């Protein structure tokens, strides 16, 4: 029997628990059909942790994450906690966790699926070629820089980067570009910000380690424009924390819904963190209408990057594509399918695909099918 892989589950707030439930269903289907075992430990974070433990990122959650091979998170935040001061908010819990796990490279792949091209707000011929990967620096920049807080008559946030923090995320972007179309667009605001001038110099130095990768620079305001004008021009985009946050929501809209986008956050050592890009969508919570695809595709990334099962990961992605192509669509993509129905259909498809693979293998062994050449 293979050993069970421990996974920390942090459903969080709003639609978080609903989309996580469906993604777990799909992960279990993938595990059953690909011969690995997973064991889940559920832990509180965000508003749910504030209610249960009085803080947004309890010590027990940190320890539970550290003991796991991977962490799967739903979303945090909501109107109930919006009155709290910054460090006490649910979102602060998420930021503390990312930092504690050291997950500096946040991968946000963005593809317009052929079956969904009509749901993009962009014209079909502009939207269809979209296949890009945003690599967002996740544990530095203005989200974390000191000093921060209130002054007597104002407020201060500080954007800080070291060359080391920039170089390590740039290396991740260049390595991933090698497995894709070999192009990196580094996005900054070097015409205004000193951190961006350091960013550009450091990315250029890293680029010299990757002579087979084309590295270009683009200002963030131009990038925002180019993303909706010709998204197909981008392969890998690498950028600092806040620019990456904003550009990934914009890129999400191109796919038809932010509910479609998954993410993987990687560091130097496991556990790595997987979460959909969307938030807790408070107005949808508890209604069974949230799109679970971002969470399900996050599980596909977990299976690939933390468990090393590339085929099982691909099977989940293909199952999602086929279910959507079959016309099973959530509300945000003009359909009627519930959160649970989408999870059920994707899990069922993962199992059917595995059955047909093993049927083909049996037929092949029995000499009933021609060998593929």
Written as six digits, the tokens of 169 are 């995320």
Residue number with CB closer to ligand NAD (58 or 77): 77
CA 212, CA 65: separation in Å to the nearest integer? 37
Sites of contact with ligand IPM (CB under 6 A): 77, 91, 94-95, 245, 277
221 is a catalytic site residue: yes
Q: Using CB under 5 A as the criterion, what x/- string covers residues 231-260 for binding Mn ion?
A: --------------x---------------
Q: 224 vs 318, which CB is nearer to ligand IPM?
A: 224
| Residues 271, 66 contacting (CB under 8 angstroms) | yes
Residue number with CB closer to ligand IPM (58 or 141) = 141
Residue 241 CA to residue 244 CA, distance in Å, equals 5
Q: What's the CA gap between 158 and 149, in Å, rounded?
A: 10
- C-alpha triplet 254, 257, 263: angle, nearest 5°: 90
Strand arrangement, sheet containing 264-266 = 37-42, 4-12, 70-75, 272-274, 264-266, 105-111, 131-137, 236-239, 183-188, 214-219
161 given a catalytic annotation: no
281 binds, among ligand IPM, ligand NAD, Mn ion, none (CB under 5 to 8 A by kind): ligand NAD
Half-sphere exposure of 206 (CA within 13 A, CB side): 24
CA–CA gap between residue 113 and residue 315 (Å, rounded): 15
Q: Where are the alpha helices (DSSP H) in 128-266?
A: 163-178, 194-207, 220-229, 241-254
Catalytic residue, candidates 131, 157, 183, 249: 249
Nearest approach, Cβ of residue 95 and ligand IPM (Å): 6
- State the residues that interact with ligand NAD by CB under 6 A: 15, 19, 75-78, 91, 94, 257-259, 275, 278-284, 290-291, 294, 332
Helix (H) or strand (E) holding 42: strand 37-42
Q: Minimum distance from CB of 338 to ligand IPM (Å)? A: 25
Q: Which residue lies nearer to ligand NAD by CB, 271 or 279? A: 279
Residue nearest to ligand IPM as judged by C-beta position? 91
- Please report how close the Cβ of residue 331 comes to ligand IPM at its closest, in angstroms: 22
256 contact partners, CB below 8 Å, separation of at least 6: 112, 116, 119, 120, 332, 333
In the bound complex, what is the minimum distance in angstroms from residue 162's beta carbon to ligand NAD? 25
Catalytic annotation present for 245: yes
344 given a catalytic annotation: no
**Closest CB to ligand IPM among 126 and 247?**
247
In the bound state with Mn ion, the residue whose beta carbon lies nearer, of 138 and 166, is 138
Nearest residue relative to Mn ion (C-beta) = 245
Considering 189, 235, 332, 349, which one is annotated as catalytic? Answer: 189
Q: Which of 13, 143, 161, 235 is catalytic?
A: 143
The distance of closest approach from Cβ of residue 181 to ligand IPM in the complex, given in angstroms and rounded to an integer, is 25
153 an active-site residue? no
CB of residue 138 vs ligand IPM: minimum separation in angstroms?
7
Using rule CB under 5 A, residue 137 touches Mn ion: no
Compute CA distances 157 → 103, 148, 150, 154, 235, whole Å: 22, 5, 9, 11, 31
CB 72 within 8 A of CB 298: yes
Partner touching 11 among ligand IPM, ligand NAD, Mn ion, none, CB below 5 to 8 Å by kind: none
Q: How far is the CB of 77 from ligand IPM (least distance, A)?
A: 6
Q: Angle at CA 202, nearest 5°, toward 182 and 302? A: 55
Q: How far is CA 340 from the centre of its chain?
A: 21
Q: Which is closer to Mn ion, CB of 165 or CB of 245?
A: 245
With H, G, I as helix, E, B as strand and everything else as coil, classify residue 366: coil
Q: How many CB atoms lie within 10 A of CB 119?
A: 19
Just list the catalytic residues. 143, 189, 221, 245, 249
Q: Rule CB under 5 A: which residues touch Mn ion?
A: 245
């Amino acid at each position: 029997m293979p050993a069970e892989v421990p996974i920390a589950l942090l459903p969080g707030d709003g639609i978080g628990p609903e989309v996580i439930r469906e993604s777990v269903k799909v992960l279990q289907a993938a595990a059953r059909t690909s011969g690995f075992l997973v064991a889940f430990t559920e832990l509180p974070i965000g508003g749910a942790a504030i209610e249960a433990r009085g803080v947004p990122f309890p010590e027990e959650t940190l320890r539970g994450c550290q003991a796991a091979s991977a962490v799967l998170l739903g979303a945090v935040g909501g109107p109930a906690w919006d009155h709290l001061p910054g460090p006490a908010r649910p979102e602060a819990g998420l930021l503390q966790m990312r930092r504690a796990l050291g997950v500096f490279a946040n991968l946000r792949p963005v593809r317009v699926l052929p079956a969904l091209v009509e749901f993009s707000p962009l014209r079909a011929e502009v939207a269809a070629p979209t296949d890009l990967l945003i690599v967002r620096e996740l544990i530095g920049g203005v989200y974390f820089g000191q000093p921060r807080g209130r002054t007597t008559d104002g407020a201060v946030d500080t954007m800080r980067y070291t060359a080391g923090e920039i170089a390590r995320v740039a290396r991740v972007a260049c390595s991933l570009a090698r497995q894709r179309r070999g192009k990196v667009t580094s996005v900054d605001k070097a015409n205004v910000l000193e951190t961006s001038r350091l960013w550009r110099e450091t990315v250029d130095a890293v680029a010299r380690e990757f002579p087979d990768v084309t590295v270009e620079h683009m200002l963030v305001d131009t990038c925002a424009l180019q993303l909706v004008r010709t998204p197909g021009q981008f392969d890998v985009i690498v950028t600092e924390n806040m620019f990456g946050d904003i550009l990934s929501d914009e890129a999400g809209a191109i796919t038809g819904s932010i509910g479609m986008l998954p993410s993987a956050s990687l560091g130097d050592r496991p556990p790595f963190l997987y979460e959909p890009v969307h938030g807790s969508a408070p107005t949808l919570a508890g209604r069974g209408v949230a799109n679970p695809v971002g969470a399900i595709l996050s599980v596909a990334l977990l299976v690939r990057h933390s468990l090393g099962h590339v085929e099982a990961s691909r099977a989940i992605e293909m199952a999602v594509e086929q279910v959507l192509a079959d016309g099973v669509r959530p509300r945000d993509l003009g359909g009627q399918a519930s959160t649970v129905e989408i999870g059920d259909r994707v899990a069922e498809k993962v199992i059917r695909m595995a059955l047909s693979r093993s049927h083909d293998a049996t037929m092949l062994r029995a000499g009933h099918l021609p060998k593929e050449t």
